[in-house]
Amino acid sequence: MWCNHSKRGACDDATGCVHVTLVRLIKFPSGSRRICRSRSPKLQDSYKRAMQHLKHCQGLAQVFLIRSQSSRLSKSVIPSLSVWDGHFSCRWRSTGGHGRQKYFNDRLPKFRFALAGLLAGTGAVLAYKLHQDKVQLAATSAQLRVTQTSDLPVYTLEEVTKHRSLDSGVWVTYKGGVYDITEFVAIHPGGDKILLAAGGALEPYWALYAVHQQDHVLEILSEYKIGVLNPESYKKQESANPSDPYSAEPTRHPALQINSLKPFNAEPPASILSDNYITPSVIFFKRNHLPVPRVDPEAYRLEIEGLSGGVVSLSLSELKSRFPKHTITATLQCAGNRRSEMNKVKQVKGLNWGIAAISNATWSGARLRDVLLYYGFGPEVAAKAKHVQFEGLDKDVTGTAYGASIPLNKAVSEEGDVLLAYEMNGEDLPPDHGYPVRVVVPGVVGARNVKWLGKIVVSDEESKSHWQQNDYKGFSPGTDWDTVDFKSAPAIQELPIQSAITHPAEGTSVDRSDREVTVKGYAWSGGGREVVRVDVSVDGGKTWHVAKLRTSDQGQHPAPPPPPGRAWAWKLWEIDVPIPHRAQELEIVCKAVDSGYNMQPDTVAPIWNLRGVLSNAWHRVKVKVSEGFKDQK
């Protein structure tokens, strides 16, 4: 920041012409931008004086505070304070996370931002040199080791617990350090949930939301350090902290490719995905939002609300004995399947799924329609209700459960086939897949197939769950985290037509002497629309061949054709395509067509969206053509 001495006189600040109170340099992953910041209490007075002085400066002034991003995490918060020609403005720009607030007052041409960045960067370097001896906070490493130095005050737990609100200040502890995060609350990507830790330890909350255990998050926290706990308080707190909520997770198959450990999210290798028409439960993709709950089947109760007879409590044995067992074969697909392809166009927010966040299984249980009718669903309820909400037994530290909802007509339709499932592939549901009861909503995005089902509510409203209201929605490629309005888009229900190549793999080679390349994959469409054709090309889409579809494993009788509108299961496909003469590389492409003649878009860019959902462009795989021994004379 600079002031014009010739017009405003000499500065009385110790830093001379440079008014920079945010004085920690942070290098962005791009390596090309730097900003400076500090939250040292010692600099609060100089910060206020600087801001007052800047209001009277005719020169250009800009202070940036930007939270650094990693290549794997797309959410960030970018606040900035600006002074332009004597006019002070403040804006908070959120580029990620949920529950974002946006305060934006932008009256400036873009070229001024570039100039301001240059000037602010220069000032930051000078200021860092001037202040580097003043702003060394104890937590200089990402590990935030527990240390006590003469530079930091020592607090007791009792003193920390007095700071539990914005009025009294919001203090938290982490690994023996004490942090005043009052100013950070307003820009926390997770909203005011951070206040749950106010006056206490962060560890129990970060154990549940393991995304916080990253260096850049710990670095941000270090800026707010104001002291350390005394040894007695730290020992007391350590003994009181609950155990890791993920410590009792079930054992998983080693073949799974892990996208996230806590919560656990993984997909099978694409090379084995289409080996079985019915995906073995152990390699069926896993999508958990929270820790897997441990449920005692004897104590289990399913509550049903919103019916004329009042609240119903149903045991597992009652669910099994009172209602006919119904079995369907249905494919479940995560909304983020193939998100990795969108990431190649532009970074999105979410797990970096490949092509295997989709699997097929047989599901058995009571039909939701039968259960609702048994307990009082009728014309009177139907006249008022529009949705059926589901709530899981998996909960976060606030006691908030995972939840979702589906339209009432899907839930009670005879053709809807919605199940309260207690078996998967002929056995009890595995823990990762919702034991003892989950809802299976065939033809609908996996997010609505709530696991560990604890409550059903027949309602005139959609679920208020975060995952229904502020996630799993599609937006225009032009919508970013500054402009997104989750209320403007409907929640994803039925998914679009989809197909992908499982063999051969990207970057592998085929032998020219084989004369043909065998291509395999899967295809599926939401809403019960049957896949009627899969087209395959080995020259990037110039020429096409029709693949053979199958609805069973090799050597088994194919499944009978599904009723119209009830094609819940995928189709596997395979084709042998001649290798083009003199081709050195093959660009293998697949695209599917469903019974409504819906087809996949040819490229990703036009369907790109900030959450990376609904990724269903033509799938492309490039392989080399090697010269086989048969061709060598």
Instruction: Specify whether the CB–CB gap between 518 and 574 falls below 8 A.
Output: yes
The type of residue at 281 is: S
d(CA 257, CA 357): 10
Asked about 433 being catalytic, the answer comes back as: no
Catalytic residue (one of 49, 112, 188, 533):
188
Token digits for 561?
A: 């054709």
Identify whether the C-beta of residue 229 lies closer than 8 Å to the C-beta of residue 156: yes
Widest CA span in the chain: 91
Cα 77 from chain centre: 16
What does the alpha-carbon distance between residue 625 and residue 633 come to, in Å, rounded to a whole number?
Answer: 18
**Residue 550 bears catalytic tag:** no
Find the catalytic residue in 47, 179, 277, 472: 472
Secondary structure, 3-state, 58-126:
CCEEEEECCCCCECCECCCEEEEEEEECCEEEEEEEECCCCCCCCECCCCCCHHHHHHHHHHHHHHHHH
Catalytic residue among 174, 334, 590, 619: 334
One of 19, 287, 369, 620 is an active-site residue; which one?
287
Distance CA 153, CA 164 (A): 19
The CA-based angle 195-201-205, given to 5 degrees, is: 65
Active-site entry in 34, 98, 164, 212:
212
- Does residue 529 have an active-site annotation? no
490: preceding bond cis by omega (within 30 degrees) = no
CA 68 to chain centre: 19
CA 266 – CA 288 distance, rounded (Å): 9
Look up 188 and say whether it is catalytic: yes
Angstrom CA distances, 521 to 317, 355, 385, 534, 589, stand at 40, 10, 41, 10, 11
Helix (H) or strand (E) holding 517: strand 516-524
φ, ψ of residue 613 to 5 degrees: the values are -100, 165
Is 212 a known active-site residue?
yes
Helices (H) and strands (E) in the chain, counts: 14, 32
Extract the tokens encoding 351. 């797990």
Active site residues: 188, 212, 287, 334, 472
